[in-house]
């Protein structure tokens, strides 16, 4: 009797989970470590005798985000060298840069190496929206507290993909919906099913819609400012305008923070004092004149002319490129709290 061949699995991790280092090592180039590392130990346990984590490929999130084409080629080559049967990427949970990297690498392995790939992300990770049609993405918690459950679900789906088994619906297998419609035969026609759902809804009973609608956050606008000549106005931007050198190291994509910076000594912004940290648009013109994104020069003129009462002496900046909705809402709430405590009446929010 011939011994059953173990599945050779390569595991992709970022610099933190790959035990290279923290945020200070986000620019680390890709490298290979033998066997499982960090979450790979849980991955190996879930695989059991069916497979082996033969290698871990780790890379800094910033290196991937800042060098997409080069990083893609380098990581793909490192994976290929391990002669794997499958790739597991992450899980990335709600870490935006990590999710984008897992998605990019997973898609490359699927398309160029024709290998089964599974990754895991929280539903609001920006990587989900971009890569859900190309990959199976297991839905996870928003943080690593859900590691065990995520790894277990990822392995179960991976084993099905490797065997070529039929993959069930998202709610059966645990992956996030891919926007792919599949024809199925139902005992009752659409009209009958719709009436049954309506009756269940009217009676406060559970039902599952066959056509889920997007969930949009609706915000009621505040009343207009009645006297701009007396108003205190603040400048906020998602266009990444920061002091020269980006002192808070705001990421060029999937920002994990925002910054608050003094405007007390400036009447306008220059290439010597400010720059953009944003990685989602050509930075040349913003760096030539940062006022193009954060209009400090015009605001100072409006204050001088008496059209605007005063300018808040700080501006707030983050990067909207790939930043999750959850994080953006969190930054917005924190900035709003600070502005209210400072007596700000209105905000000019600029983007790119």
Per-residue pLDDT of 1-31, as tens digits, reads 345 688 999 999 999 999 999 889 989 999 9
pTM for the structure as a whole: 0.71
Number of DSSP helices (H) and strands (E) in the chain, helices first = 11, 12
| 154, two tokens | 């990822």
- Which residue has 């060098």 as its token pair? 67
Task: Provide the percentage of residues in the chain whose pLDDT is more than 70.
Answer: 99
Q: Are 310 and 303 in contact (CB under 8 A)?
A: yes
Q: Are 57 and 12 in contact (CB under 8 A)?
A: yes
The backbone torsions φ and ψ at residue 111, rounded to the nearest 5 degrees and listed phi first, read -80, -40
Q: Which residues does 74 contact at the CB level (< 8 Å), separation at least 6? A: 29, 30, 59
Lowest-pLDDT range of 86-90, 164-168, 213-217, 289-293? 213-217
Q: Are 249 and 305 in contact (CB under 8 A)?
A: no
The residue among 81, 94, 95 whose CA lies nearest residue 23 is 95
Beta strands at 274-276 and 241-243: parallel, antiparallel or unpaired: antiparallel
Per residue in 106-130, pLDDT tens?
A: 999 999 999 999 999 999 898 998 8
Model confidence at 253: pLDDT above 70: yes
Beta strands at 7-14 and 86-93: parallel, antiparallel or unpaired: parallel
Each domain of the chain, given as residue ranges in start order, spans 7-173, 228-350
Q: What pLDDT shows up at residue 36?
A: 96
The Cα–Cα gap between 160 and 117 comes to 11
Q: What pLDDT shows up at residue 129?
A: 86
CA end-to-end span of the chain, whole Å?
65
The residue among 60, 82, 64 whose CA lies nearest residue 73 is 64
The residue among 176, 153, 171 whose CA lies nearest residue 208 is 171
Q: What pLDDT shows up at residue 4?
A: 64
Q: Which residues does 280 contact at the CB level (< 8 Å), separation at least 6? A: 252, 253, 319, 320, 321, 322, 352
Alpha-helix runs per DSSP H in 169-324: 170-173, 190-202, 284-288, 296-304
Q: Which CATH superfamily is domain 7-173 in?
A: Response regulator (3.40.50.2300)
| 131, two tokens | 């890569």
The whole-number average pLDDT for the span 72-82 is 96
User: Beta-carbon neighbour count of residue 212 at 10 Å?
Assistant: 8
Q: Give how far Cα 104 sits from Cα of 98, 135, 229, Å.
A: 10, 10, 50
Q: What pLDDT shows up at residue 1?
A: 39
The whole-number average pLDDT for the span 88-104 is 93
The Cα–Cα gap between 30 and 44 comes to 22
Alpha-carbon torsion (149, 154, 159, 163), positive or negative = positive
| 322, two tokens | 């790939």
Residue count of the chain, please give it. 352
Q: What pLDDT shows up at residue 304?
A: 95
Task: Provide the percentage of residues in the chain whose pLDDT is more than 90.
Answer: 74
Per residue in 257-272, pLDDT tens?
A: 999 999 998 999 999 9
């Amino acid at each position: 009797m011939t011994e059953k061949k173990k599945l050779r699995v390569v595991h992709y991790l970022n610099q933190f989970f790959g035990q290279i280092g923290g945020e200070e090592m986000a620019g680390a180039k890709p490298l290979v470590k033998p066997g499982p590392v960090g979450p790979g130990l849980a991955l190996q346990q879930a695989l059991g005798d069916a497979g082996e984590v033969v290698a871990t490929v780790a890379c800094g999130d910033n290196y991937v985000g800042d060098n997409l084409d080069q990083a893609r080629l380098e990581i793909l080559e490192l994976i290929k060298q391990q002669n794997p049967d499958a790739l597991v990427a992450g899980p990335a949970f709600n870490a935006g840069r990590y999710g984008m990297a897992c998605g990019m690498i997973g898609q490359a392995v699927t398309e160029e190496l024709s290998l089964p790939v599974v990754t895991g992300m929280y539903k609001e990770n920006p990587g989900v929206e971009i890569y859900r049609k190309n990959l199976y993405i297991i839905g996870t918690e928003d943080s690593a507290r859900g590691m065990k459950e995520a790894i277990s679900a990822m392995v179960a789906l991976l084993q099905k993909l490797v065997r070529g088994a039929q993959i069930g619906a998202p709610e059966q297998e645990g992956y996030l919906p891919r926007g792919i419609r599949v024809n199925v035969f139902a005992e009752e026609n659409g009209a009958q099913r719709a009436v049954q759902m309506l009756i269940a809804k009217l009676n406060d009973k559970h039902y599952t819609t066959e056509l889920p609608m997007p969930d949009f956050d609706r915000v009621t606008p505040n009343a207009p400012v009645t006297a701009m000549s007396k108003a205190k106005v603040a400048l906020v931007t998602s266009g990444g305008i920061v002091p020269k050198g980006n002192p808070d190291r705001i990421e060029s994509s999937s920002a994990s923070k925002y910054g608050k910076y003094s405007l007390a000594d400036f009447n306008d912004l220059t290439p010597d004092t400010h720059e953009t940290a944003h990685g989602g648009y050509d930075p040349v013109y913003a760096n030539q004149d940062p006022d193009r994104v954060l209009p400090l020069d015009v605001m100072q003129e409006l204050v001088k002319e008496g059209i605007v009462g005063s300018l808040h002496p700080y501006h707030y900046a983050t990067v909207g490129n790939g930043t999750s909705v959850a994080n953006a809402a969190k930054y917005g709430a924190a900035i709003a709290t600070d502005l209210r405590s400072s007596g700000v009446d209105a905000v000019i929010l600029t983007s790119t």
